Structure 1
Amino acid sequence: MKTIVVLLSCLTYVLAQNSVPCGVSVVQPVTNRIVGGTMAAPGSWPWMVMIVDDSDFISGSGAIIDQHVILTSAQHFEGFGFSVFDLNLHQWKLYAGSHNISMTDPHEKTYHIRRVVLHPGYNDTSLENDIALVITVEPMQWNDFTRPGCLPDAQHAYVVGDSCYLPGWGNTSSTGDEEGLNQLLYPIVDDSICANHWDDFLPATEICAGYENQHKDFCGDDIGSPLMCKKSNGAWYIQGIASSGGDCTLANEPGIFEDVTKYQDWILKSMEEAGYPYQY
């Protein structure tokens, strides 16, 4: 009888872990208005992961899309003078369920990197195809503060004017909270605006979002953060991955995001090959 009870308990736990819907937070984000950002409510963006390197510096952020998979920017792991093959990735840390930079949150869990999958077309000079998957050693434990974000539907198309949000731990330049997770309302704008500011903007695979005449932009620690947009059913999906922008302390420029929709096939194939097929 004890064996049956234990087995049923394990089965219930597994089913509970697999049944968490993507893009749904228990704590609703405060969707009113990071540089120029405001502090996010703890737990309102439960797919956010803080990526910390082997020197205990925040490298950036990522978004959970599976118990073993995080979607982020490739530039964390390969750039001028360093390569993913040279990094002590086993000493890096991934913090899920985290809110505050300088203290351990009660719901925070630490995970570790098994391997990183860079997009094969990634160019560390132009930042073309600046997207990567992080495969974790441990499975992430679903709870109210750690949940997956949704990938956009394959047929989904964003439109200029869509109001999305960018959560992140980057420098807030005294307008947000320096220690906690911040968020910024980030409208999608016309490609021509980014083309006017950035010679290397690639409209075929990138999204232009943000502000041209306001002091609001993401900073280095926000690289890899997800641009979160809302479905009609209320679920949040990852439309973009923060890749590049201006000087966030001086910015009057929009930001460039990798368009996740354009990388859907690569993401799904890579997850399948890693042994963690997308479940949503």
Structure 2
Amino acid sequence: MVSLQVGSHHTCRGFLVSKSFVMTAAHCFTWQVNLTAVLGAHDITKKENTVRIPVKFYHIHPGYDHKTLDNDIMLLQLEKAVEWSRTIQEIAIPKKDQEVKGGSLCSVAGWGLSEDGGRGEPHLMEANVTTESYRACRSAWKTISNRMLCAGGNKDRKGICQGDSGGPLVCKKKALGIVKFYQQKKCNSPTIPNVYTQVSKYLSWIKCIIKSI
């Protein structure tokens, strides 16, 4: 887990997919705002045992649409490679274009708000969530594409909130999704599921960026 910060302020999440790259959501990018990746943190208010590395390059998917949030994926190239430790490791991503079936048990974690209008959590919080079928996801969100997936929210009554963007949806120890959006002002009582970018749809692009460095 990576806290993406502007100065010392947490803005988005990400996750390590190699020693030099953090995967996150494209909507976490703001023009002329520099991000720093904070690694190894559990309590982001403490600097002990954490590593801070500025982002060198922002690789935004060329098909990203800021209006629909389609292709909402970005790779952040760090200024220097990370050294693996007990608290800093990469996470696996899927190896093929596989559909995420409904009813799968996954987890999501972050430092975002725990309730509407609340404050961000300094300690990393985690929740178990259940995936939805694409049909159920499309029924709830009319505008989603087959490059998105749904999990948590309406059935689980838990999931993501403000400040959780860009983090991973982890299923069987693999990051299958990237936090995209949720039902606004309904963190406490969602009636529809949370939406994620489906990582398996972008494997060719991911490999192309990482292998080019």
- Is TM more than 0.5 here? yes
Aligned to 1:33: none
- Aligned-residue offset at 1:218: 0.6
Greater strand share, structure number: 2
Counterparts in 2 of 1:94 and 1:226: CA distance versus 1, 3 Å: same
- 1:219-253 CA-to-partner distances (Å, cap 9, x unmatched) read 121100000111xxxxx111000101112244232
Q: Deviations over 1:126-179 (max 9, x none)?
A: 00100000000011110010000001121544321111111111111299x932
Are 2:210 and 1:267 aligned? no
The 3-state SS of whatever aligns with 1:75 is: helix
Check the 8 A contact 1:166/1:228 in 2, yes or no. yes
Structure 2 counterpart of 1:149, from 83, 91, 106: 91
Alignment of 1:20-169 (within 5 A): 48-54=1-7, 56-78=8-30, 86-89=31-34, 92-104=35-47, 106-154=48-96, 156-169=98-111
> Please, which of 193, 196, 204 is the counterpart of residue 254 of structure 1?
193
Structure 2: runs of 5 or more not aligned: none
Which residue pairs with 1:41 in the alignment?
A: none
CA shift, 1:270, in A, is: 1.1
Give the secondary-structure state (helix, strand or coil) at the position aligned to 1:221: coil
Query: 1:17 maps to what in 2?
Result: none
| Residue 214 of structure 1, CA deviation | 4.8
The 3-state SS of whatever aligns with 2:205 is helix
Q: TM-score, normalised by structure 2?
A: 0.91
Matched, 1:184 2:127: yes
- The structure carrying a bigger helix percent of its residues is 1
Contact 1:166 1:226 in 2 (8 A): yes
* Residue pair 2:97, 2:201 contacting (<8 A) in 1 also: no
Corresponding letter in the other structure for 1:117: H
**Percent of aligned pairs with the same amino acid:** 23
- Give the alignment's TM-score, normalised by structure 1: 0.70
Count of paired positions: 209
Whether contact under 8 Å (1:239, 1:260) holds in the other structure is yes
Q: What SS does the aligned partner of 1:243 have? A: strand
Instruction: Output the amino acid matched with 1:212.
Output: N
